[in-house]
Structure 1
Amino acid sequence: MVRQASKSNQKSVRFVLICAGLLGFALLANFFWASSSHLSISSNWAPRYSRSPNLYIPPKNPISHKRPKDGSDRLLLSATFQDLVGPNLEWERMVAAPVPRLDGAAIQINNLFYVFAGYGTIDYVHSHVDIYNFTDNTWGGRFDMPKEMAHSHLGMVTDGRYVYVVSGQYGPQCRGPTARTFVLDTYSKHWQGDFPPLPIPRYAPATQLWRGRLHVMGGSQENRFTPGLEHWSIAVKNGKAIEKEWRTEIPIPRGGPHRACIVVDDRLFVIGGQEGDFMAKPGSPIFKCSRRNEVVFANVYMLDDEMKWKVLPPIPKPDSHIEFAWVVVNNSIVIVGGTTEKHPITKKMVLVGEVFQFNLDKLKWSVIGKLPFRVKTTLVGFWNGWLYFTSGQRDKGPDDPAPKKVIAEMWRTKLKFND
């Protein structure tokens, strides 16, 4: 009797172990299947290179979201939130800039591309200019900026010889702004510092030359967060102010920094931007940056002969950090990269990986290409059919649009427009 009971118990234990083993094997197989399925989805925008290590061949467009199998309207968002569909472009890697830059500035005069200032790291800012020659694709001609000049969040524009540098942030982290304005003579590399200062310091104000006047508007106020609505102008000629004071102009409809400001066919355009920005942590001796809520917008405004702000079709998605990320080609405005609204789940900053075209004849936006990676505060130029971009802060990878590495890379692609 005892032996029979013992044998029965052994059979029961063996049966339970076999069932547990089968269940574990099934769970393990399901895990590996799910993992491989996720990898096949998330890697479909991974960079691929041809035998030439400098030629980027873009893969298919990324999957930005999918619907659950139960047929509900709830969206399952992936980390590529808000990536828009666009044609592939072949990007060629060029010689990198001498230093990485974030929130730097750039001006193109003919075949020369002047790249100014910017963060190297959050604790270190550059105080010099590098020059890229589009004719022979080389960097050279470095020279220093004035010691009193801001290092990031600059307002900047050129008349083809003189570069006007307005306001901006002085120093690393989230230090305060300056109201100083400087003028660079690109022929002599001489700086002029006696230009009338801006009435109030500003971070990243929209800046342009229009009808003989230097226009400065928007940006962030002295606390780095509150949007500025003010709009000033001053008459200029040959790198000099021909008025003693700035004149108050019609306020911009929506304030804030990090927007593109462009003049085409005697019309002034202001595109994108944001309200709010990082602020200095209260009491921090180094003005350590502290995150605040930002609202990125897609608004496009225009001034023309009527001197009233007109609302134009918005950019395809909210876009900020694009003040030097544009060029004008064939009566179109081209915008490269930037930042958009935060990810709705992770709440992290989302970088932009698209190239946008605004056709000024049709007043119509389109996506004309994808970048080799998402990137903000790009510095953009155009020469002999090639669209170039350098510097900025790129994403963490194909599946994570949050910002990570500050770069010095230079890329170019043959620019092609939609009809």
Structure 2
Amino acid sequence: MARSGAKPIAKRYVLVLSGLALLGVALVADFLWASSSSSSSSSSSPLWSTTLDLSLYDAPKPPVAKQVKKDNKMLQTKDINATFADLPAPQLEWEEMAEAPVPRLDGAAIQIKNLLYVFAGYGTIDHVHSHVDIYNFTDNTWGGRFDMPKEMAHSHLGMVTDGRYIYVVTGQYGPQCRGPTARNFVLDTETKEWHDLPPLPVPRYAPATQLWRGRLHVMGGSKEDRHEPALDHWSLAVKDGKALDNEWRNEIPIPRGGPHRACVVANDRLLAIGGQEGDFMAKPGSPIFKCVRRSEVVYSNVYMLDDGLKWKELPPMPKPDSHIEFAWVNVNNSLIIAGGTTEKHPVTKKMVLVGEIFRFNLDTLEWSVIGKLPFRIKTTLVGFWNGWLYFTSGQRDKGPNDPSPKKVVGCMWRTKLRL
């Protein structure tokens, strides 16, 4: 009886063991299939790899971890915003003066004695000014508004004066990123009358412009697409607001093209300072020529033409600087340059505004940082009167911890300049 009862029990053990074996085979097969699927879906793990990738078994991170990582990156960005491009500089005492009648970006300004003539510029990206406002340094007032010619450009102008006549060269006609014009004009500041000058051979955006040795010099800037830098250099003989030539003469091309640089004559030398290569362009097919940003390279180069035969390179600026075409004055044989834009932010890739005031000593050819503006700002319009350095208009930063551009302003500030 005992022997006959053992057979059913043995059969049960065999059935149990068989079931466990089948279950084990199924689990192994399922594991191998899952591992194969995971391996084939990963580009970093070869299909036939014999190395066990432990990351396959990591538990998925909760969504909050991604948010913490994002927040940490934002905090790091905020921490470096204020110090990325700012150079050490003395604090200056600033006094706010009478505000301009309208805010301006990419406007132009010329000082004649105690008057600052302020031209054109954007009010907003969709609105441009077509008039002139005059600031009186002596009594801190704005007045004397008058219109520009209807055919005259509204921004990115080249401009210079001989002390009475203001020569206005080319520039962008209209808002957003519309095309340039080749039209040139001259203003008689005593009569407020406008006259034509011969047009440039081709239109240009924001070319470097100066009067030197009896000729109106125009060089660089951007080509008609607003982005490609131009190297061309032309000159036109002028006197008392009139052109003595019928056509522009080709001169020695500038070594590095592009817009938004300071152009200065000092000690009978022609200097081109700072600037950039590239700029915003019109979006293809846009009916309003909507601006689309392209890459730009801001530089610190300083070029000098002294004998009319060859450009020479002088010591560079303390840091790259652009949008400074009307942001300078010559005081005691030193060039003073206020604000501008520098290299884009390394993390956010946004435009970075400049808050320093630079000095270029023309006797020693040395640069220094002599102070800080009340805030970072580009396309400032600068003047100097009775020991005071003034600036007005432009586009200022978002705040002390964010150097990217925000509000277009018309404020006027001044500080006592001690060199």
**CA distance in 2: counterparts of 1:274 and 1:305, whole angstroms:** 25
**CA distance in 1: counterparts of 2:305 and 2:387, whole angstroms:** 29
**CA distance in 2: counterparts of 1:269 and 1:328, whole angstroms:** 12
CA displacement, residues 167-211 of structure 1 (integer Å, 9 cap, x when unaligned)? 000000000000000000000000002x10001100000000000
CA displacement, residues 137-196 of structure 1 (integer Å, 9 cap, x when unaligned)? 110000000000000000000000000000000000000000000000000000002x10
**CA distance in 1: counterparts of 2:314 and 2:86, whole angstroms:** 23
**CA distance in 2: counterparts of 1:78 and 1:254, whole angstroms:** 30
Q: Among 372, 380, 383, which residue is 2:382 paired with?
A: 380
CA displacement, residues 102-159 of structure 1 (integer Å, 9 cap, x when unaligned)? 0000000000000000000000000000000011111000000000000000000000
**CA distance in 2: counterparts of 1:134 and 1:410, whole angstroms:** 11
Q: Among 202, 214, 217, which residue is 2:219 paired with?
A: 217
Question: Larger C-alpha radius of gyration, 1 or 2?
Answer: 2
Runs of 5+ consecutive residues of structure 1 not aligned to the other structure: 1-30, 43-64, 66-76
**CA distance in 1: counterparts of 2:386 and 2:90, whole angstroms:** 21
Matches for 1:184-223 after TM superposition, within 5 Å: 184-193=187-196, 195-223=197-225
**CA distance in 2: counterparts of 1:405 and 1:266, whole angstroms:** 38
The one-letter amino acid of 1:87's match is: P
The one-letter amino acid of 2:364's match is: K
**CA distance in 2: counterparts of 1:233 and 1:188, whole angstroms:** 26
1:405 matched residue in structure 2: 407
1:118 matched residue in structure 2: 121
**CA distance in 1: counterparts of 2:309 and 2:142, whole angstroms:** 41
1:299 matched residue in structure 2: 301
Contact 1:80 1:401 (8 Å CA) reproduced: no
Matches for 1:141-152 after TM superposition, within 5 Å: 141-152=144-155
TM-score for both structures, normalised by structure 1: 0.81
CA displacement, residues 328-363 of structure 1 (integer Å, 9 cap, x when unaligned)? 000000000000000001100000000000001110
**CA distance in 2: counterparts of 1:375 and 1:310, whole angstroms:** 30
1:134 matched residue in structure 2: 137
**CA distance in 1: counterparts of 2:328 and 2:369, whole angstroms:** 14
The one-letter amino acid of 1:394's match is: R
**CA distance in 1: counterparts of 2:381 and 2:84, whole angstroms:** 24
CA displacement, residues 250-281 of structure 1 (integer Å, 9 cap, x when unaligned)? 00000000000000111111000000000000
TM-score for both structures, normalised by structure 2: 0.81
Runs of 5+ consecutive residues of structure 2 not aligned to the other structure: 1-67
Q: Among 286, 289, 295, which residue is 1:287 paired with?
A: 289
How far did 1:307 drift?
2.6
Contact 1:368 1:416 (8 Å CA) reproduced: no
The one-letter amino acid of 2:397's match is: D
Q: Among 267, 270, 279, which residue is 1:268 paired with?
A: 270
How far did 1:306 drift?
5.1
Matches for 1:327-342 after TM superposition, within 5 Å: 327-342=329-344
**CA distance in 2: counterparts of 1:398 and 1:164, whole angstroms:** 38
CA RMSD of aligned residues (A): 1.7
Contact 2:281 2:291 (8 Å CA) reproduced: yes
Change (3 A) 1:135 1:157: same
**CA distance in 2: counterparts of 1:264 and 1:109, whole angstroms:** 17
1:252 matched residue in structure 2: 254
SS of the equivalent of 1:302 reads strand
How far did 1:305 drift?
2.0
2:230 matched residue in structure 1: 228
- Percentage of pairs with the same residue: 80
Q: Report which of the two has the higher share of helix.
A: 2
The one-letter amino acid of 2:200's match is: L
CA displacement, residues 28-64 of structure 1 (integer Å, 9 cap, x when unaligned)? xxx9xx99xx89xx8xxxxxxxxxxxxxxxxxxxxxx
The one-letter amino acid of 2:279's match is: D
How far did 1:80 drift?
3.2
Q: Among 178, 183, 186, which residue is 2:186 paired with?
A: 183
Contact 1:227 1:275 (8 Å CA) reproduced: yes
**CA distance in 2: counterparts of 1:306 and 1:182, whole angstroms:** 26
Matches for 1:346-365 after TM superposition, within 5 Å: 346-365=348-367
Contact 1:228 1:255 (8 Å CA) reproduced: yes
SS of the equivalent of 1:180 reads strand
Contact 1:80 1:400 (8 Å CA) reproduced: no
The one-letter amino acid of 2:109's match is: A
How far did 1:416 drift?
1.9
Change (3 A) 1:282 1:397: same
1:167 matched residue in structure 2: 170
**CA distance in 1: counterparts of 2:386 and 2:150, whole angstroms:** 35
CA displacement, residues 202-243 of structure 1 (integer Å, 9 cap, x when unaligned)? 000000000000000000000000000000001000000001
The one-letter amino acid of 2:326's match is: F
2:159 matched residue in structure 1: 156
The one-letter amino acid of 1:239's match is: G
